[in-house]
Amino acid sequence: MRIGVIGAGFAGLMFALSFAREGYSVDVFEEHGRVGYPPHCTGIVSSRTMELIGSPAKESLERRYRALWIGANGVYARVEPSGYVAKLDRELLEALMLEELESLGVRVSLGTRVSLVKPEGKIWVRGSPKAYDAVILADGFHGRIHKRLGIGYGGEKLLGLNAIARSRRGYDDIVVDFSERLSEGFFSWIVPVEGHVVIGTATRDPALLKVKMRALARKAGVEEFERVYGGPVLLGPPAERLYRGRVLVVGDAGGLVKPLTGGGLYPNALAASLASLMAKRGVDPAVAVRKALCRVSRELWAQYYVARAILENKGALEKAVLLSNITGLTGALKGSIDFDRHERIPAIGLSNPFRLAGVIAGLAILSPGMLGRAAELASGLAGSRRLKC
């Protein structure tokens, strides 16, 4: 059976690799002359995602972290998630994924533009049609093909910016800051790597981006940027229509990103792994991808409600961090927070009911509006479980 993949960004490469590893005949088409460029992602992943990607992730590893400092306006909590968090060299990662594909006999056509795609699984390249049992469409947020087919992501995006620089301050852990002065509608980040840091932020208003980056640079002790890169940051939720016939849309084109962070490596690696596993068991590959996308979409829809509760209530987040530190909840949750499964955050504190009660009581006094938001969050999480796709 034959799989056609359009787009050789991370999502396209991941699906191609997952099927090729199971022995499927795979063709990859990429309109640019190289993969992994230009980068726009910071490359932060969990240990689980490292395993899903496989050897290319391990070989492109830049650094591991045991903790993240999360907070706003000078109030932070040191959070140690389960497993570890890693920083990958995104350009190297995708180059290594390409190498593995070629070693598996996958035909990768760089600098090749697909002119037409039909729902029955046909792709036109240079005027000639090719038929596939499943077409994985990873043509990116701005892609024209998924839009022509009436599928894929049409939700909100921010503009994100990363800068590589040297810092006067020493950082051991990742810093995630939700202060409005450093980001607008999102958060900023400081990621220490050997010899330098990667700092970044995202905003709804592009005119504010330079202002926010300058403020973040001052906070991080950075005077001069060595390299700057960026791109769209999607806020989700994933598209309601992720397929048409045998054509299935993935990656940014489908909004398959974690809504709290905009990270797409975990959801696409998971979907690709699930799809190839089902196909190996005899499920039609197009059906397998559709079922995998449905499973991952339910998870991301649930994450979307958690992301809204956090990003739209940054003042309450600051108070919650402070109260968690005071009550000892932060330390009690050591090793129990899943870096990928943000929809589980509201339930984590239930294993520490007395400390959680102190946080809730404090929020009821300091941020009364959070009680209404909590009810909305619970309703959204319940609804996401009934999502049909």
Task: Indicate left, alpha or beta for 234 from its phi (over 0: left) and psi (-120 to 50: alpha).
Answer: beta
Order the strands of the 174-177 sheet from edge to edge: 75-79, 68-72, 174-177, 188-193, 196-203, 157-167, 222-234
Q: Is 281 helix (H, G, I), strand (E, B) or coil?
A: coil
Hey, how many other C-beta atoms are within 10 angstroms of the C-beta on 312? Answer: 11
Q: Residue 44: name the closest of 10, 79, 86, 14 by CA.
A: 86
pTM over 0.75: yes
Task: Give the Cα separation of 327 and 306 in Å (integer).
Answer: 22
Which residue ranges in the chain fall short of pLDDT 50?
Answer: none
pLDDT tens digit string along 128-160? 999 999 999 999 999 999 999 999 998 889 999
Buried residues in 33-42 as b, exposed as e (16+ CB within 10 A)? eebbeebbbb
Structure-token pair, residue 124: 């036109």
Task: Give the Cα separation of 266 and 341 in Å (integer).
Answer: 10
Q: Are 247 and 173 in contact (CB under 8 A)?
A: no
Hey, how many other C-beta atoms are within 10 angstroms of the C-beta on 290? Answer: 20
Task: Give the Cα separation of 344 and 19 in Å (integer).
Answer: 30
CA atoms within 13 A on the CB side of 127: 0
pLDDT of residue 36: 78
Q: Are 42 and 122 in contact (CB under 8 A)?
A: no
Can you name the residues that pair with 135 across neighbouring β-strands?
A: 4, 247
Task: Give the Cα separation of 28 and 58 in Å (integer).
Answer: 23
pLDDT of residue 364: 56
Q: In whole numbers, what is the pLDDT of the chain averaged over residues?
A: 88
pLDDT of residue 135: 98
Q: Is 159 helix (H, G, I), strand (E, B) or coil?
A: strand
Our separate counts of H helices and E strands in the chain read: 13, 19
Task: Give the Cα separation of 164 and 160 in Å (integer).
Answer: 14
Task: Indicate left, alpha or beta for 251 from its phi (over 0: left) and psi (-120 to 50: alpha).
Answer: left
